[in-house]
Amino acid sequence: MQRIPYFDFLRGIAIIMVVCLHCIDFSAREGPVLNFFGVEFRNLLNAAVPLFLAISGYFMANKKVDSPAAYKSFLKKQAVKVYVPMLVWSVPYLVLSYLHRESPVITWLLFFFGGFSIYYFIILIVQYYALLPVLQKMGRSLRGGEIAVAISIICICMLEILFYGYRLEIPLIVYAGPFPLWIMFFVTGIYLRNHTFDTKYVYLPVILFYVLSVAESFIIMHCTGQVTGLGIKVFSFLFSLYFIIMMFVSPLKTHVAAHKDHLVIRGITRIGELSFGIYLIHMLVNMALNKFAGYHNFNFILVLAISIAVIVVTMKLAPASIRKYIGFS
């Protein structure tokens, strides 16, 4: 896949957001700190996974999958590229599950179907690869994009009812793993690869839906009496949609290209190049850090730094054949 520096920059932003999302315990923040910082920041981070999906859709938009041979070759290459590293990095969770005497059947199902940690994303992206011929057709027209948005909004509304109305506890892989929930973001990436978008129609919806997303969080927390409603919400999805469009078409693209050698921009771009590896290992790093050094909300800085160091050292020492299977290529 041809690398475009600006999209590596976006990946860098997205993976930093993901690490923050997973290393900061927003549920433990109470009172003024939560009200002033936690809800607002958490709602901003909600765009991380959608941004990754849109970037993936953008690069899959024109893949040749219009014949059985091309489709089979594409699936074999792309699915294995993400699925095998997921299995490798799921092994520590598999061992821990056995040590905790969990059901062997459930344990192996979780192992093969991305049920450990945050690996639902791998299963999700494999589904989009499998559906790519259909998704490409959807992403080539505004009507197809509208259908994708409608599907995602219906799904997120249903989840809100189940989570906040019926107070159901649903495993992450069950509600976040199926493709319909996030389909609007992948299709949006495809659409933006083939169409232009006037930036003047973007900024107001970004601000509006972000404010509504924050407000929705406070309403849900007030109604449930718990620190919840920070991630799974309609307005969070709509904010993420317009945030993606803004990041794809804004003048920031020109600025990044013009200042690509700036220390910060170069650093974020490099992080973006390593983003898949960081995604795969950062939760393991976070778990180890919390166990041996104790939890702190600013551990995300150490987790990011350690993850990057592990990947860079491995890339220097391990042969390409090994790096391919652990997701560090």
Provide the pLDDT for residue 294: 85
* Nearest by Cα to 95 from 324, 327, 287: 287
Cα–Cα distance for residue pair 189/137, rounded to 1 Å:
13
Q: How far is it, in rounded angstroms, from Cα 260 to Cα 55?
A: 19
By residue range, what is the domain housing residue 267? 5-326
Q: What is the pLDDT of residue 234?
A: 96
Predicted pLDDT at 130? 97
Residues sharing a CB contact under 8 Å with residue 73, sequence separation 6 or more, in sequence order: none
- Tens digit of pLDDT per residue, the chain (329 long)? 568 999 999 999 999 999 999 998 776 555 544 555 678 889 999 999 999 999 999 999 999 999 999 999 999 999 999 999 999 999 999 999 999 988 999 999 999 999 999 999 999 999 999 999 999 999 999 999 999 999 999 999 999 999 998 999 999 999 999 999 999 999 999 999 999 888 888 999 999 999 999 999 989 888 887 777 788 899 999 999 999 999 999 888 889 988 999 999 999 999 999 999 999 999 999 999 999 988 887 889 999 999 999 999 999 999 998 999 999 98
pLDDT at residue 33, as a whole number: 46
The total number of structural domains that make up the chain: 1
pLDDT of 27:
63
326's tokens: 């652990």
Give the separation between CA 35 and CA 33, rounded to whole angstroms.
Answer: 5
Distance, first Cα to last Cα, the chain = 12
Side-chain-side CA neighbours of 86 within 13 Å: the count stands at 23
Residue 1: predicted pLDDT: 58
Report d(CA 201, CA 191) in Å as an integer: 16
What residue spans of the chain are helical by DSSP H?
5-23, 31-33, 39-45, 48-60, 68-99, 104-112, 120-130, 132-139, 142-160, 172-176, 183-194, 203-224, 234-249, 252-258, 263-273, 275-293, 299-317, 320-326
Contacting residues for 137 by C-beta, under 8 A, at least 6 apart: 144
